[in-house]
Amino acid sequence: MWSQLVHKTRRMTCFLLPYYHNSPSTTKLIFTPHYSSSVFLRPVSSPAVRAFCSKSGAMSSLLSLQNPDYVSFLKQREAAEIDETLMGPLGFSVDQLMELAGLSVATSIAEVYKPTEYSRVLAICGPGNNGGDGLVAARHLHHFGYKPFVCYPKRTQKPLYSGLVTQLESLSVPFLSTEDLPLDLSKDFDILVDAMFGFSFHGAPRPPFDDLIQRLVCLHSNDQTHQKGPVIVSIDIPSGWHVEEGDIGGEGIKPDMLVSLTAPKLCAKKFCGSHHFLGGRFVPPVIADKYKLHLPPYPGTSMCVRIGKPPQVDISTLRENYISPEFLEEQVESDPVDQFRKWFDDAMAADLREPNAMALSTAGKDGKLSSRMVLLKGVDKDGFVWYTNYESRKARELSENPCASLLFYWEGLNRQVRIEGSVQKVSDEESEQYFHSRPRGSQIGAIVSKQSSVVPGRHVLYQQYKELEEKFSDGSLIPKPAHWGGYRLKPKLFEFWQGQQSRLHDRLQYSPQEIDGKLVWKIDRLAP
């Protein structure tokens, strides 16, 4: 479990030993090098570690990533029974389930393949429910910023399906016949959505789907020549596969992504692509209990969750091509604090998570740097305010070197702001006022927390917290601890950054300048 054997000198083994960092709201495991004459190490274990592993939803999700067997796989009969139950006594309609499935597929695609690089999508839809899922996915992908095309050669006249077609036509999504499709799909499309056949399909594919499947198979063969081709996304079952035995002959479609629905089918164990997602947040507990389903938790408000082994990624290839409006000197505020407020308001309006989160970097008298995330709790002409423990490492460094930098990063807007300046403590009155504005649980946590000190385990924190919770259960005033309070950074430099295409990012720097005895801010454009 723990990193071992990272360095060996003179028969001495260096290993990383974890210890706990005390924090009011989080457990921090710090790894430091220790040396031992033995090369055999036992995994470190403690009640706190075991509790974290057994209770954390994040750990459950991690287990599902590392161990495919942690997630349940359905036989064909079980999948059919679950559908019948959902659409019978549990009150779901076909169009409801189709809408949820198609949305799950679209969000899975958007998780991995960004429309800036994979914009042209061809959804190849069969005549059944799997094809309906593809039609719904195409509609959502259009709204997500992609350019979908649909090949739907065997249309059904049922109102549900004709309605889906009408919805796409109202968005001017092109429908292509099989004759319209190029023989080589790799030149005209970036993503191919295989929505031809689902788990209920039996027998061999008939025209024109046999030819369409073969075209997808050929794309995989062409990839062996190292030519970049479109990625293939299969919905629930790669078309042509046996629902339980998979690609029996080994000559079927090799999708890059599989989006399983409700729960993965047995054939998904044979899936060897890079990305396996599950869409099925609608599964009620009665179904999960009856079929003993082990399903991973869904993050946040997402309709999909990654399962299976995480993809092997070449870090050197990770990059984003930002698309943002120009950020020009004549458009900015003359005062950088006003410009910061403008961008901060944009981050709030975009509903970004914790837009007040900022990286605080400090250094002690030895010059060694350290950084951590803290929360901005106030900003005005006098500076930027945050609160912390006055006995923490950052506090010790600020006492030795009262200078720091702040970094805000708003990923959803392609923006960051860097601020440098001098730091001083806020007044006791200001710290007192803010302390008592916090939830009572946070006040107790601040008393318990002796940041940056070593503690035996999280159970110690819980015990101290419960004792104080009981002590102040009568609602009496909780005194602010002397070791807790605020800091204010007085800015001496601002840099506003906005991502642009081809790495020609906008960087505008504000620096103070004295003119005629008055302090003004000079604005310079920096090379990206």
pLDDT at 439: 93
Please state the φ and ψ torsions of residue 36, each to the nearest 5 degrees: -140, 150
Which residues contribute to the annotated binding site for (6S)-NADPHX? Answer: 129-133, 198-204, 236
pLDDT at 50: 35
**pLDDT at position 43 over 70:** no
The active-site residue, picked from 50, 77, 155, 503, is 503
Each residue's pLDDT tens digit, 345-392:
999 999 999 999 999 999 999 999 999 999 999 999 999 999 999 999
Residues 421 and 358: their CA atoms lie apart, in Å, by 15
Q: Does domain 49-177+187-311 have CATH number 1.10.10.10?
A: no
Residues 152 and 161: their CA atoms lie apart, in Å, by 11
Least trusted range by pLDDT, from 42-51, 169-178, 503-512: 42-51
Each residue's pLDDT tens digit, 295-311:
999 999 999 999 977 76
pLDDT band at 318 (very low <50, low <70, confident <90, very high): confident
- Please confirm, yes or no, whether 503 is among the known catalytic residues: yes
pLDDT at 41: 36
Least trusted range by pLDDT, from 54-58, 411-415, 460-464: 54-58
Q: Shortest CA distance to 187 belongs to which of 243, 216, 221, 229?
A: 229
Span 329-525 CATH architecture: Roll (2.30)
pLDDT band at 210 (very low <50, low <70, confident <90, very high): very high
Which residues contribute to the annotated binding site for K(+)? Answer: 130, 194, 239
Per the DSSP assignment, residues forming a β-bridge with 15 are 34
Q: In this structure, are residues 49 and 19 in contact, taking their beta carbons and an 8 Å threshold? A: no
**pLDDT at position 272 over 60:** yes
Which amino acid, one-letter code, is at 437?
S
pLDDT at 229: 81
**pLDDT at position 73 over 90:** yes
pLDDT at 33: 59
Number of H helices, E strands in the chain: 13, 20
Average confidence (pLDDT) over 327-351: 95
Give the alpha-carbon dihedral of 216, 218, 220, 223, to 10 degrees: -130
Tokens of 372: 């951590």
Least trusted range by pLDDT, from 250-259, 274-283, 314-323, 480-489: 314-323
pLDDT at 319: 80
Average confidence (pLDDT) over 309-337: 86
pLDDT band at 258 (very low <50, low <70, confident <90, very high): very high
Residues 131 and 125: their CA atoms lie apart, in Å, by 4
Q: In this structure, are residues 321 and 121 in contact, taking their beta carbons and an 8 Å threshold? A: no
Please report, for the chain, the start and end positions of each structural domain, with discontinuous segments joined by +.
49-177+187-311, 329-525
Q: Could you count the other beta carbons within 10 Å of the beta carbon of residue 82?
A: 21
64 or 492, higher pLDDT: 492
pLDDT at 317: 81
Task: For residue 262, give the DSSP letter.
Answer: S
Which amino acid, one-letter code, is at 30?
I
Each residue's pLDDT tens digit, 117-128:
999 999 999 999
Task: For residue 273, give the DSSP letter.
Answer: S
Which residues contribute to the annotated binding site? Answer: 129-133, 194, 198-204, 236, 239
Q: Could you count the other beta carbons within 10 Å of the beta carbon of residue 49?
A: 18
DSSP notation for 304-370: -EEESSPPP--GGG-----------GGGS-SSHHHHHHHHHHHHHHTT-S-TTEEEEEEE-TT--EE
